[in-house]
Amino acid sequence: MPAIQINTGGLCHLEGNMIMEAVDAFDQAVGLENIDVIFIENVGNLVCPVDFDLGENLSIMILSVPEGDDKPIKYPGIFQHAGAQLLNKVDVAPAFDFDMDRYTKTLDDLNPQAPRFAVSARKGEGMDAWCDWLIGQIEQARA
């Protein structure tokens, strides 16, 4: 799978012109007609990315269990903005005292309509449901 690194040059977020340059680079490298999906991994800042439209079809918030169940409370904007919520590393939740009820209740308040997926990329748990949903979104966007 081709990948292009976007250097933010010290910025704490990506901007649309950076994505435009990356899309041009994809076009030169493999031709856009040969690409079905472009995933944009934004930087780890949980505040700024909400304020910059990158032209994406869908925004997905990925939280890892070790980051803590308090992140939706501390950074509500990005959780409200997300079209889907992915919680990764659920296999290690007991070791991190991750309070699933607190996390779920906060998301119920912030963004009840966004689909949620609890996965473990390491163990494969929950990946079938996540991938099925993502494939459905891609097919819907094509139609």
List CB contacts of 51: < 8 A, sequence separation 6 or more: 13
Residue closer to Zn ion, measured from CB, 78 or 90? 78
Residue closer to Zn ion, measured from CB, 10 or 112? 10
Residue number of the CB atom closest to Zn ion: 48
Show contacts with Zn ion in window 86-115 (CB under 5 A).
Answer: none
Q: Is residue 12 near Zn ion by the rule CB under 5 A?
A: yes
Q: Is residue 13 near Zn ion by the rule CB under 5 A?
A: yes
Among 23, 35, 38, 48, binds Zn ion (CB under 5 A): 48
Instruction: Using the rule CB under 5 A, give the single segment among 8-16, 33-41, 93-101, 124-132 that binds Zn ion.
Output: 8-16
Residue 10: CB minimum distance to Zn ion, A:
10
Interface with Zn ion by CB under 5 A: which residues?
A: 12-13, 48
